Structure 1
Amino acid sequence: MSKVQKLVNIALAEFLGTASMLFLVCTGCTSGIQGTISSLHLSLCSGLSVMAAIQMFGHISGAHINPVVSLAALMVDEISYLEIPVYIVSQVLGCLAGCGLQKMVTPLQHEIQYPGRGICVNAPYETLTDWEALGVEIILTTILVLAVLATWDKRNGNNMDSVALRIGFLVGVLNLAAGSYTGASMNPVRSFGPAVWSNDFRSHWVYWVGPTIGSLIATITYKYSFLRVEVHTREYK
C-alpha cells in the first residue's frame, strides 16, 4: 500500500468513525423522541458508540475518533507527524457530518434540550464553575488516555482481545461517574460538532483545554515512567 493510499484510508476511517459516534450519541440523547433519558441510558449510548467505531475502523486507523488520543499516539510514536493533521481534520469533519445527519432526521421541536441548550451540547452542571468543570475533564481524560496507551503497550499484547468492548465500557463508566458534572466529553470533537450546529459555545473552551491537558498528563506519565521501565528492563536482560 502506498503512503498516499494509507493516508486516504486513515482519513476515511476517522471521518466515518467520528461521524458514526456523534450520530449515535446525539440521537441517543434527544429528549422527547427518546422519552425520559436516564444517566444509564446516556452512559451506555456514549460507551457503546465508541465501541462500535473501534470495531468498525480500529484495524484501519486505530479508530482514535478523538484529537487528544491522536496527540497521545503522536507522542508515543504510534503515528507520524505527517499523519497527525490527517487524523485531526478528518475527526473535525466527521463530527460535523455526524451531528448534521442527526439534525436532518430530528424534528425542530426537539432541537432545544433542558436547560435551554442545543441537542447533545456538553455543558458544566449549573452549580459548577468552568474551572471545576475543567478539572473534571482533565481527570476523566487522563484515565481514558492511560487506558488507550495501555492497549498500545506491547507488553499488553496477550490481553488485547475485545479491545473495542473494553474501551467502550470504560467510556461508559466514566460517563456514569461524571456525565452529570460536565457531560464527560473527554473529546474536543464530541463537544465541537453539537456546539457548531446549535450555535451554543457557552463554556466550550473547557472541552478543548481539559481533554488536551489530560492527554498530555497521561502520555507524559506513561511514556517517561512505564515505557522507560520497559526499555531499561530490556537493556539489563
Structure 2
Amino acid sequence: MGNFNEKLGINDLKAKNNLWKALLAEFIGTLLLNFFGCISCVVSTDVMIALTFGFVIFVTVQSLGHVSGAHLNPAVTAGMLATGNITIIKGILYIIVQCIGAIAGSAVVRALTQEIKESVGVTLVHGKLNEAQGFGIEYFLGFVLVLTVFGVCDVNKPEAKPAAALAIGVAVALGHLATVGLTGSSMNPARSFGAALINGDWTNQWVYWVGPIAGGISAALLYKHAFSAPSLGPVKIIERYTTVSADEKELKRLGGTKNEV
C-alpha cells in the first residue's frame, strides 16, 4: 500500500509548499513559452520563429528547472510518468497547469496583437499533408525532444547537466527549423491547445496531442531501457568520457622510430 501511495503521489500533496511552487513554475514557464513563441508568429519569418521558441525554452528551463524540472510540455510529463520519474498526481497537475499557462500566454498575445493579425500561433497541418502524416511529424518532434531531455537529465551523466537547458532549447529550435511549415512544429500539446482555445480553431487538434505524447513516451522508454548510463561511481563516470593517451615518452619513442625508418 505504501508503494502504491508513493507512485500515486500522496506525499506530494502533503508537501504543499514544494508542490505549489512547482505548479507555479510550470504555469509561468508555459505562459512565457506561448507568449514569446506565439507573438513571434505575428511578423517573424520561419527562422525567427524557430529561434524564438528555442531561446524561450532555453531561458525558462535555465530559470525554473530547479523548481519543477521545467517540463513545460505534456509530452515531457507523459514520458516522465511512463518511466516512473514523476508521481501520477503530480503529473496530472503538471499537465493541467501547463495548459492553463499556455491559454494565458496565448490570451495575452491575442489581446496585444489582434489588430495586426487576427489568428495568432495556431498550429495547422499543411494543406497538402493528411492528418496521419501530421501525426508522424509530431511523433518524431516529441521523440527527439524527450530523448534530449532524458539524455541531458540522466543522473549518471553529471557532465551533461551544465548544457542541459541549451541542449533542450536547441532540440526545440531544430524541430521548428525542420517542420514549422508542415505542422507548425508544435512538439507540445499545451502550446497548441492554448492557441486553439484562444483563437477558436480546433483543426487537427488530436494530432498535436497524440503525436508528441506518443513520441515522448516512446523516447522515454527507449532511453530508460536501452540508453541510460550505468551507475559506475564518480571515478568511472570520468573514465567513461576520458580518452586515455599513451605515455608522452612512449609517443616520442614511437615518433623517433618512425623517423629512423
How far apart are the structure 2 equivalents of 1:107 and 1:134? 29
Structure 1 unmatched ranges of 5 or more: 112-117
Counterpart of 1:28? Answer: 40
How far apart are the structure 1 equivalents of 2:152 and 2:173? 17
After TM superposition, which residue ranges in structure 1, 4 or more long, deviate above 6 angstroms? none
The alpha carbon displacement at 1:140 in A equals 1.5
Identity of aligned residues (%): 33
Structure 2: which amino acid aligns with 1:225? A
Counterpart of 1:230? Answer: 230
How far apart are the structure 2 equivalents of 1:19 and 1:180? 23
- Whether the aligned pair in 2 keeps the contact of 1:18 and 1:91 (CA below 8 Å) is yes
Counterpart of 2:211? Answer: 210
For the aligned residue pairs, the C-alpha RMSD in angstroms reads 1.9
The alpha carbon displacement at 1:160 in A equals 1.4
Per-residue CA distance 1:99-137 (angstroms, 9 max, x = gap): 1111121233511xxxxxx21100111111111111111
Counterpart of 2:61? Answer: 54
The alpha carbon displacement at 1:226 in A equals 2.3
| TM-score using structure 1 length | 0.88
How far apart are the structure 1 equivalents of 2:32 and 2:224? 31
The alpha carbon displacement at 1:219 in A equals 1.4
Q: Does 1:6 align with 2:7?
A: no
Counterpart of 1:90? Answer: 97
- Whether the aligned pair in 2 keeps the contact of 1:174 and 1:184 (CA below 8 Å) is yes
Structure 1: which amino acid aligns with 2:31? A
Counterpart of 2:251? Answer: none
The alpha carbon displacement at 1:26 in A equals 1.1
Number of paired residues? 222
- Whether the aligned pair in 2 keeps the contact of 1:10 and 1:86 (CA below 8 Å) is no
Counterpart of 2:117? Answer: 110
How far apart are the structure 2 equivalents of 1:66 and 1:107? 26
2:71 is paired with a residue of what secondary structure?
coil
Counterpart of 2:175? Answer: 174
2:88 is paired with a residue of what secondary structure?
coil
Structure 2: which amino acid aligns with 1:145? V
| TM-score using structure 2 length | 0.80
How far apart are the structure 1 equivalents of 2:150 and 2:165? 14
Counterpart of 2:256? Answer: none
- Whether the aligned pair in 2 keeps the contact of 1:137 and 1:182 (CA below 8 Å) is yes
- Whether the aligned pair in 1 keeps the contact of 2:153 and 2:164 (CA below 8 Å) is no
